[in-house]
Amino acid sequence: MAESVPTMESSDEEEFNDTYDCFCEINCEEGENTQPSPQYVPPPGEVTVLSADQETVSLGLPLADHSVRCTLQIDYSYIQRSSLITQDSGTVKVEGLNPGTEYTFSITRIADNGNRSKATTLSVFTEPSPPGNIAVCQVSSESLTVHWEAPAGEVESYIVTCCSKGEIVQELTTESNKLTLNNLKPGVCYSLQVSAQLKNGRRSKPTSTSARTCK
């Protein structure tokens, strides 16, 4: 008669499986034979414009509450696209921009392991440049002729304002960088301001000078 092969009792089999599962759990906790799970990188959130001048834009970002070290990638474009990599902080300054221009910014957080957050985008206008070197080139008893240098940007027109004692006497619009103001009073000191109106709707701060008509 053939010898019977001993079989494992059900209780012994359950004990073996429990031991094996425990061994797997310990190894998984120690990181053996496992792949690291991707870490979530929080997006920049609501980005605010702290300041914008002719060539610089400062952006404010809420600080993220996370343990993963990150850097910030700022992509910005007008005609050409540029990028800036900086530390993850509450303030980001982008320099070397064109005056009177609308830029689109896209801000992304990048963790040390390469994971990226979703991007936050916003559009910002830089301040237009005012006209330069304004001067009065001709003076009579009833007129003043003023000229100035064209600023950077696509200028549509100029607004020339003539004031006396804090009140506006004349306000004229011209496409030229030279204008004669007529029908003025003799011997009166006038304040002259010239602003540039850009094609994108932005208006520069005024450039000022003063002159007195002849008696």
pLDDT in tens, 103-153: 999 999 998 888 899 999 999 999 999 999 999 999 999 999 999 999 988
Q: Would you state the pLDDT for residue 202? A: 92
Query: Whole-angstrom distance between the N-terminal and C-terminal Cα of the chain?
Result: 143
Residues 108 and 164 in one domain: no
Of 138, 184, 137, residue with least CA distance to 162: 184
| Residues 139, 207 share a domain | yes
Instruction: Count CB atoms within 10 A of the CB of residue 79.
Output: 6
How far is Cα of residue 67 from the mean position of the Cα atoms in its chain? 27
The last residue of a domain, from among 100, 125, 150 = 125
Q: Are residues 167 and 191 in the same domain?
A: yes
String of DSSP letters for 5-66: PP---HHHHHHHHHHHHHHHHHHHHTTTT-PPPPPP-----S-EEEEE-SS-EEEE-PPP--
**Co-location of 121 and 147 in the same domain:** no
**pLDDT of amino acid 43:** 85
Residue 24 inside a domain? The answer is no
Residue 173 lies in a domain: yes
User: What DSSP string describes 132-149?
Assistant: EEEEEEEE-SS-EEEEEE
- Are both 136 and 113 inside the same structural domain? no
The verdict on 184 and 112 lying in the same domain is no
Among 116, 109, 112, 114, smallest CA distance to 45 is for 109
Integer CA distances (angstroms), 68 to 21, 40, 61, 65, 141, in order? 32, 9, 17, 9, 73
Residue 162 and residue 99 in one domain = no
Listed residues 69, 97, 125: the one ending a domain:
125
Element (H, E) at 169: strand 167-174
According to the model, what pLDDT value does residue 38 have? Answer: 56
Asked if the structure places residue 42 within a domain, the reply is: no
Number of domains in the chain: 2
Establish if 35 belongs to a structural domain: no
With respect to residue 6, please indicate whether it lies within any of the assigned structural domains.
no
Q: Are residues 117 and 156 in the same domain?
A: no
Q: Domain range spanning residue 110?
A: 48-125
Where residue 115 sits, what CATH number does that domain have? 2.60.40.10
* 43 within a domain of the structure (yes/no): no
Exposed (0-12), middle (13-18) or buried (19+): which is 10, by Cβ within 10 Å? exposed
Indicate whether 165 and 207 sit together in one domain: yes
Report if residue 39 sits inside a domain. Answer: no
One domain, residues 75 and 53: yes
Q: Which residues in the chain come in under a pLDDT of 70? A: 1-38, 64-68
Q: Write down the pTM of the prediction.
A: 0.69
Output the pLDDT for position 7.
47
Of 83, 100, 125, the last residue of a domain is 125
Same domain for 136 and 208, yes or no, is yes
User: Is 81 domain-assigned?
Assistant: yes
> Is 106 found in the same domain as 159?
no
